[in-house]
Structure 1
Amino acid sequence: MSLLAHYDALLLDLDGTVWEGGRAIDGAVEAISAAGVPAIYVTNNAMRGPDAVAEKLRAIGLNVATHDVLTSAQAAIEMAAEFLEPGDKVYVIGTDSFRNLTTEAGFQVVDSADEQPKAVLQGLNPDLGWRELSEAALSVRGGAKYLVSNLDTTLPSERGLLVGNGSMVAAVISATGVQPSSAGKPGPAMFHAAASKLGSHSPLAVGDRLDTDIQGGNAAGMATFQVLTGVSGQLALIEAPKEQRPTFIAESLADLRLTRNELAPGSQGGFTARIDGSDILLERGTDESTSIQALRTVLEVAWAFPKPVNLIRPMSEAAQRAVDNWW
């Protein structure tokens, strides 16, 4: 029985999971289209509004409406609304879409700390510079509540990992000593909101990043599905703390067709794994054994061990082939 027979919705991350820099990851569109359950796209990327994100998803072949997208910019504005009044002044570091969403929510977007904003909202903007960060720092030092869309330090792209919002936020933290509240993943709020929008009782949270997608889904009490097409690789999984360990491990979204047993940590592909001191010995395997089967085999042992393992030691030709490209 396919994994998806056990879940009634997909909560899908975008960057590194569905696409890289707007280019569909191989097999992603086909897997989502064939899933047979509704999907909502839950993204920490605040650069585009939900309408623009939906349009880009349609451009790669997915049937997506604006209400099928939940961005961290939307979540940050909802967080701000808990303590702001309509018409309150807000300084926004972000793209025009973030500023427009803030205005549509009933707040007054200002351009200077001199206007004494009651809140600073910060999301990723590739054109962000010293002036904007300085105005944010002055606003926060002046008493403005500091809220950010997310704290991802990197952003996956087809060229590699780019600077993420969290890296920009670090500059304001350094200048003010103030830690912001983050609306996005790994907090559970976005996951609960996404499931509620779909009326889902048993959603599957899907993503590529352990410290946001998986940790957030786990915090929300949901089953989590990790793909190896983005930020977090095999070695990060082996070293993952308990709160960042996914329920299922996959090479890509194409593996949604597999069964629970195939996707969960456990001995697979003829491999066995055991502890030797502080190392894990990966043994046996066959000519048909795959790298992901070796990984799931190792994870069952690594996650049961009470302290971090030191080395993964391949003890056969099949094991060596399987781990050669781990990162």
Structure 2
Amino acid sequence: MPLAEEYDLAMLDLDGVVYIAGEAVPGAAEHLAAARERGMRTAYITNNAARPPAEVARNLSELGVPAGTADVVTSAQAAAHLLAERYGEGARVVLLGGPGLEWALADAGLTPVGAEDDAVAVVSGYGPDVPWRDIMRVAVRIRDGLPWVASNTDATFPTAFGQAPGHGVLVDTIARFARVDPVVAGKPQRPLLDETVRRVGGEHPLMVGDRLDTDIEGARNADLPSLLVLTGVTGLPELVAATPELRPTYLFPDLGGLLVTHPEPERDGDGWRVGGWHARVQRGRLALTGAGERADWWRAVATAAWDHRDSTQDVVDVTGLDPGSETGER
């Protein structure tokens, strides 16, 4: 069955899946509309704790992807839910982050306070205007025993001027100073995915993402199937090097993968066959013969590469392989 009929909820990462640098991924709006017509719910989840859900939903709608506030779930909301469960309504929590995190704390019935104020815990998230004096004070309080929840540990953050340091860099800095690791709400940990199902519903959810080390690993940690799309950061070198915990259940060039059936790779002689493609490893190099659909090219390559890695511990050499090729030997 097409994935949109097999699963009742698509949990979609945003950057690299639905949009890139503020522009919609070509075809994304149309593919998602078609999936919804087949009965699939769509939820938009993000590790970015800086923006409230209403702002994210408004941005999606402007890009042609209709979304309401209830359709967006952020790592800030997941972090706030963890704190509310642990400390109860009205608990005072030190806020080290931006407006999205402040909104999430208030929405969960918590009281955000400053770096010097009495509190039962601290929560941190991405915030470009967080002053260094607050970071220093919070780091000392964490070292001295104040419980700490981090919205996410993303090492990079996409900006108009390229990849910049993300909240994970700050988390690493505080953790090394305080010698304390936080409880993490965002991907690849499972609280964000659990929070999405709790808020949006769904008996058979599917995680959809472009990053192996957050989206796909997060799905694995939550025991959920996943679809990797190739419109974002994952390319051929990253895909063939993936260890088991980073491998998706399904693979497709874009969100059109929600609308099709996905063939299972078949062992064929010394290699693997998917559709018209046959992939095998010869003396450490990946060789591909045949012709067919682009999605099957990627499936055959990934299956042969992962089989080789599992049996030898070596990453296959893909030098010279052209992902855009649809025919011939490579």
Query: 1:33 maps to what in 2?
Result: 33
Query: 1:272 maps to what in 2?
Result: 278
CA distance, structure 2, for counterparts of residue 297 and residue 132 of structure 1: 51
- Measured against aligned partners, the alpha-carbon deviations of 1:273-305 in whole angstroms (never above 9, x if no partner) come to 22334x14313234x664x54332121122223
Query: 1:106 maps to what in 2?
Result: 109
CA distance, structure 2, for counterparts of residue 263 and residue 207 of structure 1: 21
CA distance, structure 2, for counterparts of residue 63 and residue 281 of structure 1: 42
TM-score, with normalisation over the residues of structure 2? 0.86
- Measured against aligned partners, the alpha-carbon deviations of 1:296-323 in whole angstroms (never above 9, x if no partner) come to 2121122223243343256xxxx74338
CA apart distance, 1:158: 5.6
Query: 1:169 maps to what in 2?
Result: 171
Of 302-311 and 49-58, the range deviating more from structure 2: 302-311
- Measured against aligned partners, the alpha-carbon deviations of 1:192-223 in whole angstroms (never above 9, x if no partner) come to 33234343121211011111111111222222
CA apart distance, 1:263: 9.5
Does the 8 A contact of 1:302 with 1:309 survive in 2?
no
Letter in 2 for 1:100: W
Of 28-37 and 87-96, the range deviating more from structure 2: 87-96
CA distance, structure 2, for counterparts of residue 98 and residue 166 of structure 1: 15
CA distance, structure 2, for counterparts of residue 219 and residue 130 of structure 1: 33
Q: 1:88 to 1:197 in 2, by over 3 A?
A: closer
Letter in 2 for 1:221: D
Percent pairwise identity = 35
TM-score, with normalisation over the residues of structure 1? 0.87
Q: 1:94 to 1:8 in 2, by over 3 A?
A: same
2:67 counterpart SS class: coil
Are 1:133 and 2:139 an aligned pair? no
Of 305-314 and 260-269, the range deviating more from structure 2: 260-269
Identify unmatched segments of 5+ residues in structure 2: 326-330
The correspondence for 1:62, drawn from 65, 75, 82, is 65
Q: State the superposition RMSD in angstroms.
A: 2.5
Are 1:282 and 2:283 an aligned pair? no
CA distance, structure 2, for counterparts of residue 323 and residue 32 of structure 1: 24
CA distance, structure 2, for counterparts of residue 156 and residue 122 of structure 1: 19
Q: 1:85 to 1:199 in 2, by over 3 A?
A: closer
Q: How many residues align?
A: 316
2:44 counterpart SS class: strand
Are 1:260 and 2:239 an aligned pair? no
CA apart distance, 1:77: 0.6
CA distance, structure 1, for counterparts of residue 318 and residue 44 of structure 2: 38
Letter in 1 for 2:44: Y
